[in-house]
A and B are shown apart, each in its own frame.
Chain A
Amino acid sequence: MTDPLPWLIVLPLAWGALAFLLGPGRGGALAIAGLAVQTGLALILAGQVLATGVRVHPVGGWGAPLGIDLAVDGLSAVMLLLTQGVALVLAIYARSYFAGARPEGFWPLLGFLLAALNALFVSADLFNLYVTLELLTLAAVGLVAQGGGAAQASAALRYLLVSLAASGVYLLGVALIYATYGTVSLATLAPLINGDAPLAVWLATGLVGVALLAKTALFPFHFWLPPAHGAAAAPVSALLSALVVKASFYLLLRLWLGVFAPFTVAAGWVLAGLGAAAILWGSWQAIHARRIKLLVAWSTVAQLGYLFLIFPLLGSTALALQAGIMQAVSHGLAKAAMFAAAGIFLKATGRDEVDSLAGVAGRLPLTLFAFALAGVTLMGLPPSGGFLAKWLLIDAALEARLWPLAAVVISGGLLAAVYVFRVLRQAFLLAPDDSHFHPVPRSMEWAAFALAAASVALGLRGVELLQLLAVGRVT
């Protein structure tokens, strides 16, 4: 049997290019078929990783150092599964969302976006990772610019410039590391780098770290995220918030646990502090947002903060990594559901303000239920995946006797409740007499519901995910 690993990169590139030739109608059907196959491949790959451990694939039969190696461990496998699963459901959603309109570039760019994401999750050297980060940026910016209004173009341009500046800083870091060690392979670098490394390597660590923080939109680098995620079409916002920002977080985590481990003791506190600030500031802005998509986008800023609370704990307990990945996966599912639901509200009411949601409870009960379920995950109520993530995080914090972190987690959950209930309260008000609801395809409502239900069900079936995560872990 052939290795599924390279196909996860080749397949989306192929259907992306074909979708460009076929046009939106048949291109969309092709994309959904391709994504279904990719989901199967990711499941097979996860099974192989569980059974036999870390998998390495030398591209074209040329191994490192001459060729390029692709590698999959438990962490990569989890991210691959999340990506294919969320993208498949969102593709079904997007096909109905764009029905009637002509989304010229959506399907080809979706293919390129997935190829970049999958390539990033399996890359095993710093330069290859740079290339995949750039490909990801180009595809994501193209998707934000879809729809063609002035707001989209200017949000996309700002997003592009921030991402490019960050990529440049990352590349300079890679150059310094190559100059010192003569290699960019993560596997070769890991034993070479230690606490006595020359100043250039310390500098490189800082540069790469800051670049990835900017790409993950951690406070205070979050400024580009709300306009970009708020202005894009709903399926695009969902993809960006659920998957794209997780890619740079994944990379930071991988480097942190691997090659940069000797430098990270003090920096962990800085990241956790910024994460706490992100939770409070992002939630505050979400509570005050007037437009519903902006509310959801600010909630992403807040939820990303949790991912960084784990960094000072990574060294002392294995719970921290589990908490971080559980948060990344459950937030990915919940936020995709929330943006999908917001897109349905927008289509049905024709307006984007939270205040215009009155009457939604009667007309779109399934969508509102999906929004509420996703909210349950964001607040961290049992039995959702978000609950499991926050439980693990509090457990890890208390084990390390760091009660302030636990306090931040709990207050972040309360703040999330405020902005989720703000939407729900408005939705249950009676509709004014002159209101008019457009019909919405059922497939969109069910797609939003499936994502939200998965984010809650994750809390019940989290053990398998954590088992997969434990395979081939560096620490």
Chain B
Amino acid sequence: MTPGLLYALAGVALFVLGLGAMLLPGPVLRRILGFNVMGSGAFLVLVGLAQRAGGVDPVPQAMVLTGIVVALAATALALALARRQEQADD
């Protein structure tokens, strides 16, 4: 088993855990964290599987960087909405 495949399998495990946390009923914060765990899993699959001839393939690295920025923005928006919902409940 190559290290790349190991990363990818760990990525799939994280993805499934995160997706489960997101879709199952639970506190909003847990679901937002689930989204982040799931995203990290997908990134790990992307970087882990895309090894070209033993070397590092730079394209997925660039994709993951873009993906992290998107995930950060989405997390910020989700937290802001969760906060507003909480304030409205009070």
Contact = CB atoms under 8 A, between A and B. Distances in A.
A156 B87 CA distance: 15
A176 B49 contact: yes
B70 A160 contact: no
Contacts of B46: 171, 174-175, 178-179
A127 interface: yes
Interface in A155-189: 156-157, 160-161, 164-165, 168-169, 171-172, 174-176, 178-179, 182
A376 interface: no
Interface in B6-55: 8, 15, 18-19, 22-23, 28, 31-32, 35, 38-39, 41-42, 45-46, 49-50, 52
A172 B88 contact: no
B86 to A, nearest CB: 9
Given A161-B31, A164-B74, A168-B39, A153 B85 contact: yes
A249 B39 CA distance: 23
Given A142-B77, A157-B78, A172-B15, A182 B50 contact: yes
A108 to B, nearest CB: 14
Interface string B70-88: 1001100110011011001
Interface of B is mostly: helix
Contacts of B49: 175-176, 178-179
Nearest to A149: B88
Contacts of A164: 22, 35, 74, 78
Contacts of B56: none
A421 B66 CA distance: 49
A154 B32 CA distance: 14
Contacts of B39: 168, 171
A164 to B, nearest CB: 5
Instruction: Using C-beta atoms within 8 Å of the partner chain, give the interface range for chain B.
Output: 35 or more
Given A160-B77, A172-B45, A176-B49, A153 B38 contact: no
A425 to B, nearest CB: 36
B45 A168 contact: no
Contact of A165 (B8, B35, B52): B35
B58 to A, nearest CB: 11
Contacts of A101: none
A161 B22 contact: yes
Given A131-B66, A150-B89, A178-B46, A168 B18 contact: yes
A353 interface: no
A220 B44 CA distance: 30
B74 A157 contact: no
Interface stretch (A46-54, A133-141, A399-407): A133-141
Nearest to B84: A153
B82 A157 contact: yes
Interface of A is mostly: helix
A137 B74 CA distance: 9
A78 interface: no
B13 to A, nearest CB: 12
Interface string A115-130: 0000000000001001
B15 A168 contact: yes
B78 A134 contact: no
Given A168-B19, A179-B50, A138 B38 contact: no
A387 B59 CA distance: 47
Given A168-B35, A171-B67, A161 B78 contact: yes
Nearest to A142: B77
B74 A160 contact: yes
Contacts of A172: 15, 41-42, 45
B19 A165 contact: yes
Nearest to B18: A168
B85 A150 contact: yes
Contacts of B18: 168
Given A131-B66, A138-B74, A179-B50, A165 B81 contact: no
A148 interface: yes
Nearest to B76: A138
Contacts of B82: 157
Contact of B81 (A141, A171, A182): A141
Contacts of B84: 145, 148, 153
B77 A165 contact: no
Contacts of B73: 138
Contacts of B78: 157, 160-161, 164
B53 to A, nearest CB: 11
Nearest to A178: B50
A182 B41 CA distance: 19
Contacts of A141: 77, 81
25 contacts: A127-B63, A131-B70, A137-B74, A141-B77, A141-B81, A149-B88, A150-B89, A153-B81, A153-B88, A154-B85, A157-B78, A157-B81, A160-B78, A161-B35, A164-B78, A165-B22, A168-B39, A168-B42, A171-B39, A171-B42, A172-B41, A172-B45, A178-B46, A178-B50, A179-B49
Given A165-B19, A168-B38, 17 more contacts: A127-B66, A137-B74, A141-B77, A150-B88, A150-B89, A153-B81, A156-B81, A160-B81, A161-B31, A164-B74, A165-B38, A168-B42, A175-B49, A176-B45, A178-B59, A179-B8, A179-B50
